[in-house]
Every structure is written in C-alpha cells, then in structure tokens.
C-alpha cells in the first residue's frame, strides 16, 4: 500500500515534550502586566479556565480557542499580554533537530506532509514558529483544532487533516504522535496507520491498555520514522 501523506502531531512529536508548570507560567505572564494585587486571582482564573477547556477536549472532543479561554476567565487581554504569553512559551516550541531532514525526505519522495494539533493557539502563532524553524514551506497542509469544532481523537479532526494535504484514502496516510489515546487510537480509528514517538511522559506505554488501538510502529526519535514509511510505501 502506497503512502500518500504523513501527518504529524506538534507538541511532543515534532517538538520535544516539556514538563511545564503551567500555573507558574500564567503567574509570570500576569505579573508582567497587572497590578501585583491582581496577579494571583487572575492567574488562577486563567488556569481554571484552561483546565476546563482541556477537560472538554479530552472528554467531549470539542475544541477551544484562546479567546474562549480569556472569556471564560473573565479577562480582557491586551496585545502586550498576548505577546508575553507567546514569548513565555516560545523556548518550548523549537523542533527536534532531525525534524527538517525528515520532512525534506518525505517531500522528496512525493509524500505530502501535514500537521494536526490539539491547540488553543491561532494559526498565525503556529506559522510564526514553523517559519522561524524554516519548515513552514515544507508543510502541504495544517489543521489546528482552534479552527475546527473537534479535537483528536475525533475522526473528523483526522479527516480535516487529510483534506488539508489533499489526501483521500486514510489507509494511505500515516499519523505520527506521542499520545496513545488522542493520536494513536484516534488515527487508527480513522483508518490510518499510526506511529507513536515514545517518551517517558507519554500517557501509557504502547498497548498497555486493551481498549486502545496499538500503534503500527514505535519510534524514539523522528529520524527512525523514515524506514517504516519506506517499507510501507514500497
């Protein structure tokens, strides 16, 4: 079976996983712009809103945006505060060193390259990151859950990503992600091959829950993906 497209998750897949203290990040963002007496309360409201929207994503597979997050927290962000949020996160957004060569190699084989990310961030923020790392032009399509009604593992999210890269047959698509439920189970349920890039903070080890679909392959670095794709592509 040929491979028409390889679609990647973003955080923890194209980028290393970072175990972050989100509450402390919100506190630092707020402290840069708010009266000291307001920082704790507003940072907590933002954290609570983010927790709720990610709960909704996990349990109901419904997407959210940063605008919804701020609305739920009762906060009207300034452009300066949003810029600080981006800057606070930016050090944790750099791609794995072997990502560029992998994407170039896939494109050289005539394989479409895509991204499907569960995110509240805008397309503009993601494209700034991909442009900074020199890979924006290597993406044939990208879908960010902030732009669609669903999050992974909803099948419509995967179908949207296929449509974005111009693929029509899920059996000829490969999805690469790190989360056993959102990425692997979701992709397999949508009819795609699925590859798990494993790191020690992944939700569970591959196949350790009988209710989850097993990945077609497990890799420990992005460069390890190429031989699997070559074997499947024939």
Tens-place pLDDT, residues 133-165: 999 999 999 999 999 999 999 999 999 999 999
- In this structure, the answer to whether residues 103 and 76 fall within a common structural domain is no
> Could you tell me the residue range of the domain that residue 83 belongs to?
22-91
**Are residues 136 and 68 part of one domain?**
no
Residues 10 and 32 occupy one common structural domain? no
Terminal-residue alpha carbon distance, the chain: 7
β-pairing verdict for 112-117 and 5-8: parallel
178 and 224 co-located in one domain: yes
Q: How many domains does the chain have?
A: 2
CATH number at residue 142: 3.40.50.1000
My answer on whether 133 and 110 are in the same domain is yes
Which of 67, 91, 115 is a domain's end point?
91
**Residue 197 near residue 14 (C-beta atoms within 8 A):** no
Residue 153: cis peptide before it, omega within 30 degrees of 0: yes
Indicate if 87 and 189 belong to the same structural domain: no
- What pLDDT is attached to residue 205? 44
pLDDT tens readout for residues 32-49: 999 999 999 999 999 999
Of residues 20 and 89, which shows the higher confidence score? 89
Residues 178 and 228 both lie in one domain: yes
pTM, rounded to two decimals: 0.94
């Amino acid at each position: 079976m040929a491979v028409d497209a390889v679609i990647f998750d973003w955080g923890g897949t194209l980028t290393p996983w970072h175990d972050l203290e989100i509450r402390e990040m919100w506190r630092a963002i707020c402290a840069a712009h708010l009266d000291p007496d307001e920082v704790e309360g507003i940072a907590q409201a933002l954290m609570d809103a983010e927790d709720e929207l990610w709960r909704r994503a996990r349990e109901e597979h419904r997407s959210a945006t940063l605008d919804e997050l701020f609305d739920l927290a009762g906060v009207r962000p300034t452009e300066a505060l949003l810029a600080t949020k981006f800057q606070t996160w930016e050090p944790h957004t750099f791609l794995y060193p072997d990502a560029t060569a992998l994407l170039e190699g896939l494109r050289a084989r005539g394989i479409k390259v895509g991204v499907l990310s569960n995110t509240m961030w805008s397309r503009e923020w993601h494209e700034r990151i991909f442009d900074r790392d020199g890979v924006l032009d290597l993406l044939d399509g990208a879908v960010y859950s902030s732009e669609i009604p669903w999050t992974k593992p909803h099948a419509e999210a995967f179908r949207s990503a296929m449509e974005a890269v111009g693929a029509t047959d899920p059996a000829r698509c490969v999805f690469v992600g790190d989360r056993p439920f959102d990425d692997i189970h979701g992709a397999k349920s949508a009819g795609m091959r699925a590859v798990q890039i494993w790191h020690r903070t992944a939700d569970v080890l591959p196949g350790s829950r009988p209710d989850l679909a097993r990945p077609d392959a497990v890799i420990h670095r992005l460069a390890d993906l190429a031989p699997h794709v070559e074997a499947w592509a024939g």
